[in-house]
């Protein structure tokens, strides 16, 4: 993930006629921040793996900067799980922020006269919402039934199958002990989603009724 983020920075630097507007500067900052968060997450995961390996070999473990202590198997697992929790906190908003950053970049370039490299795909409102939810890592499938992490979005299996038929999303199985499947974007899905990010959103429908007109005053009514 960190390498991918740094590759994005290199790609941005290679773009010609790249005007450093405030929006583009924000894109650079967000991508670099993602790279730092991914690097920090990797360090915590490696530290957790080293604790487990050292404990299994009967070696002392470095907990603090200058403290080497032997750990029991239970203590080692607790220390490793604590680092996994840190990784969860570091990357909790990574996918959402990456999608928002991509939309910021595409929209800014579109407003400056640079159309997307591909035509926006013809997607229904449900398919477009599902594609964005998949990009955020919010969609899993269990026994052919989709689940979305955000409760305000309802997703049917027919919508997922329609995106699969167009090769925009794919499924990835969890470990063997789990019956869940994670839905992820394919390269074609990334391309079509990026092309659709600059498409204007549909106006929000009004949910309140217009105020009733006041009755006109009669001629003989006093002020």
The more confident residue out of 113 and 53 is: 53
The candidate with the shortest Cα–Cα distance to 97, out of 183, 39, 27, is: 27
The residues near 23 (Cβ < 8 Å, ≥ 6 apart) are: 104, 105, 107, 108
Backbone conformation region of residue 26, classed left if phi is above 0, alpha if psi is from -120 to 50, else beta? alpha
Sign of dihedral through CA atoms 96, 102, 106, 112? positive
What's the mean per-residue pLDDT of the chain? 84
What is the pLDDT at residue 66? Answer: 60
pLDDT bucket at 204, cuts 50 / 70 / 90: very low
Helix (H) or strand (E) holding 181: strand 180-185
Q: Encode burial over 98-120: b for 16+ CB neighbours within 10 A, e otherwise.
A: bbbbbbbbbebbeeeeeebeeeb
Q: Which residue has the tokens 């391309």?
A: 191
Q: Cβ distance 118 to 138 under 8 Å?
A: no
- Summarised one tens digit per residue, pLDDT across range 48-97 is 999 999 999 988 887 766 667 888 999 999 999 999 999 999 988 889 99
- Summarised one tens digit per residue, pLDDT across range 14-54 is 887 778 899 999 999 999 999 999 999 999 999 999 999 99
Helix (H) or strand (E) holding 115: none
What is the pLDDT at residue 202? Answer: 46
Q: 118-200: which CATH topology?
A: Arc Repressor Mutant, subunit A (1.10.10)
pLDDT bucket at 117, cuts 50 / 70 / 90: confident
Q: Encode burial over 172-185: b for 16+ CB neighbours within 10 A, e otherwise.
A: eeeeeeeeebebeb
% of the chain with per-residue pLDDT over 90: 46
What is the pLDDT at residue 83? Answer: 93
């Amino acid at each position: 993930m960190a390498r991918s983020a740094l590759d994005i920075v290199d790609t941005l630097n290679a773009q010609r006629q790249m005007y450093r507007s405030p929006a583009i500067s924000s894109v650079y900052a967000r991508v670099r921040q993602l790279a730092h968060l991914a690097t920090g997450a990797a360090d915590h995961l490696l530290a957790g793996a080293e604790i487990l390996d050292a404990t299994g070999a009967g070696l002392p473990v470095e907990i603090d900067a200058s403290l080497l202590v032997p750990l029991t198997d239970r203590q080692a697992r607790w220390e490793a799980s604590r680092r996994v929790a840190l990784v969860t906190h570091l990357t909790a908003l990574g996918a959402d922020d990456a999608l928002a950053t991509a939309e910021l970049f595409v929209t800014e370039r579109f407003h400056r006269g640079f159309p997307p490299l591909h035509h926006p795909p013809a997607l229904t409102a449900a398919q477009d919402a599902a594609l964005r939810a998949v990009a955020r890592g919010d969609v899993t499938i269990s026994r052919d039934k989709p689940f979305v992490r955000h409760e305000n979005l309802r997703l049917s299996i027919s919508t997922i199958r329609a995106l699969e038929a167009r090769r925009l999303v794919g499924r990835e199985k969890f470990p063997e002990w789990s019956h869940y499947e994670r839905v992820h974007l394919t390269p074609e899905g990334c391309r079509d989603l990026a092309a659709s990010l600059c498409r204007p959103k549909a106006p929000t429908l009004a949910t309140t009724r217009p105020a009733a007109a006041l009755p006109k005053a009669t001629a003989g009514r006093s002020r």
